[in-house]
Amino acid sequence: MPVQEGQQRWKIGGSVYILIWKRTVFTVLTCKAGSFPAASYFQDITLTIALTPTDFIWQGVMQGRRDGCKEWPAEGESLLSYRGEPLPYMLFVCQHPQYWRSVAAERRRTGDMIYARKFYEDSEAAHSITEAEIIKVEDIHGKLLLIGAEDDVLWKTAKYIWRM
């Protein structure tokens, strides 16, 4: 499917930019989504740069204020959708309001405002990743630049990159 300048096709919790420059279509993606599935759907994306990616899709997250929580799992929603349909996703180990309490406790314990690694590890341990939730890297025709760190405090980015 061709990507055209200015088209918005993805509902994403993080940031995704689809750019066209000198006949090269590329995406730059940030955190929280393993958001580079766009490249497996749009064959003319020739370069994808993913920062702290996962190799599967997570449950959606809402932000704001709800029952004293700043963030909570979106019930029945994927972090990503395509053509208005949610993509299959990995459920979090707990839902609202326990989700925020768990993440906030880890952040207090570590003193790191973005630390949530234990929560994501627990979620992955509680639910086996299904084939439908895995990002189809084999369907990506362009080049991938996956950037992550062994000591990432959000999730095991390096593990996910190596699996891809």
Whole-number Å distance between alpha carbons of 91 and 80: 13
Residue 12 reports pLDDT greater than 80: no
User: 0.85 exceeded by the pTM?
Assistant: no
**Dihedral over Cα of 72, 128, 78, 43: its sign:** positive
Question: 107 vs 44, which has greater pLDDT?
Answer: 107
Residue 88 reports pLDDT greater than 60: yes
In this predicted structure, what is the pLDDT of residue 35?
Answer: 56
Cα–Cα distance list, 146 to 22, 37, 99, 158, 162 (Å): 22, 13, 28, 9, 10
- Using DSSP bridges, classify how beta strands 85-86 and 80-82 pair: parallel, antiparallel or unpaired: antiparallel
